[in-house]
Each structure stands twice: as structure tokens, then as C-alpha cells.
Amino acid sequence: MTTAPFGARLAAAMSAYGPLCVGIDPHASLLQAWGLPDDAEGLRRFSLTVMEAVTGHVAAVKPQAAFFERHGSRGLAVLEEVVAAGRETGTLVVVDAKRGDIGSTMGAYAEAFLRDGSPLAGDALTVSPYLGFGSLTPAVDLALASGRGLFVLCLTSNPEGHEVQHARTATAEDTAGGPSVAAVMAAHAAALNADATPMGSIGLVVGATVGDAAARTGTDLAAVNGPLLAPGVGAQGAGATELTAVFGSARSQVLASSSRGVLRAGPDVAALRAAALEASQEAASALR
């Protein structure tokens, strides 16, 4: 991919369209609410309608791979169409696949989602670092070489997340008193983004509803110098107060993700677009 780094392209898109990323999450219940069948054709009509509505109006879209994978090869073909539509229209596509493994397997995931010419390669990929941040090296290397980005799971809003993310790491000097796992992941991302302007391409996933978790775990989000993908804005209840508590001085780095709050306005394209614009304005106001 001959292009500017993902971090620079995302910063430009956020400046132009606001800090909103619209999730493309075709739950069976949403397909039903839109009057669509729960099959690959319903999935296709749903996804491309969302793309039509928000292209040129939001910073990015985030298709959730699992909702495409549940329809098998035909569902994956629809995901390829979404990625292609983003490429054709200049809309940044974050593929939310949360891949994480070791060695050649991680390399194969990287090839699938980050290699030039792969039909599944959007502009960025969500990844899980919980086999150790170093296990992501094949994805990091390929993302940076191809001008793409990563969003590394750091502080997630699911109730089980703290079991791993808030745990303290062992050090050679003190087997119980090292930094939190979340802080270590953030520090690795910060090292990869050092000196990048306007921001680096290795971001974090930080739930918009995790409260003061960053402060309690010693996770320096501002130092990351990269984008912070924040699910949970809008329908899940995170507004200005919650976002300030979570992100503090790092608010300008936040890419706020909203799915249900926008998608429930469908299937009318104009209504979807209006919902996306409203959500974008609300996110911008909340992140000032």
C-alpha cells in the first residue's frame, strides 16, 4: 500500500469528519428489525446500506468479523465487499477480528488482514496481545510496512476483562509488584509510536465505560501517541462525564465507536446518515 501511515490518515479523517467510527454489527436481531433475512444476502444488504449512509460523513467504519463469519464463506465474501467499498470510497475500515496467536499462525492472520492485495485487508485490525505483546510482532511489522494500523486490546469494558488486564506483572526484582498488564500493553504501543506525527499507527482499544481503570492500573493513555478506539459511546451510555473519567488528557486521541445507536435508525439511508451525524456531533462535544 503506497500511502501515508494509518495514524496520519486517521487523524486527517477525524479532523474532517469528527471522531466517530460506526460499527457494522449485523446481529440477527438487527437484520430482523430491518426486515432482512438472517442469511448472507440480508447481511450484504445491511452492510452496504450502512456504507452508503455513512461514507463521507464519519471518520471510519468497523465491521465486526464474527457477524460475517457466522454465515460461512458467503458471509466472508460480504466482508470482502465492505472492505472493497471502503477502499473505493476512501472510507477507513477497521476490521474488528481481535486476532492473536504465536509464530507462523500470527503471521498468517497478519497476511489475511494486513497484506496488500488481500481481500480482507482493511486499513486497520483489532488484535489481542494476551499471549504477550511480542506475539503480535508479525502483525506489527506488516501493518507498519503496508501503511496500516492495529488496535491492541488494552482496557475492555466486559466484566471479566479486569482478571487479566488489571493483574500485576512479575519482574525479576519483585514477583508481585510489577506494572499492570494494561500498562505494559500501553507502554509497548507508546514505544512503537515514538516520534510519530500527528499520531502513530498502533492504537489501543479502551472501553468508554471503564471509569477510572486507566488511573487505577497506571496506564498512561496520553503517552501512547496513537489512536484510542473507544467502544461504548452512545447506546451503551458513555457521555462527556464518562469519557473525561476514562481518557482525561488523552481525549483528543479517541476514536469513539457507536454501533446500535446508529444502526437502529435503519434501514432508511437518510435516517442512518442523520443518526451517524448526530452521534458524531455528540462524540465531538463529549471529547472536547
> Which residues are the active-site residues?
98
Torsions phi, psi for 194 (to 5 deg): -55, 130
Distance (Å) of CA 276 to CA 43, 156, 252, 260, 270 = 20, 23, 19, 11, 10
For residues 151-184, one letter each, b for 16 or more C-beta atoms within 10 angstroms of the residue's C-beta and e for the rest, the string is bbbbbbbeeebbeebbebeeeeeeeeebbbbbbb
Question: Cα separation of 241 and 93, whole Å?
Answer: 28
Question: Cα separation of 34 and 115, whole Å?
Answer: 34
Question: Cα separation of 281 and 63, whole Å?
Answer: 21
Under 8 Å between Cβ of 259 and 235: yes
Under 8 Å between Cβ of 161 and 129: no
Question: Cα separation of 160 and 155, whole Å?
Answer: 11
Question: Cα separation of 185 and 165, whole Å?
Answer: 9
List beta partners, residue 60: 21, 92
Question: Cα separation of 62 and 47, whole Å?
Answer: 11
Query: How many separate helices (H) and strands (E) can be counted in the chain?
Result: 13, 8
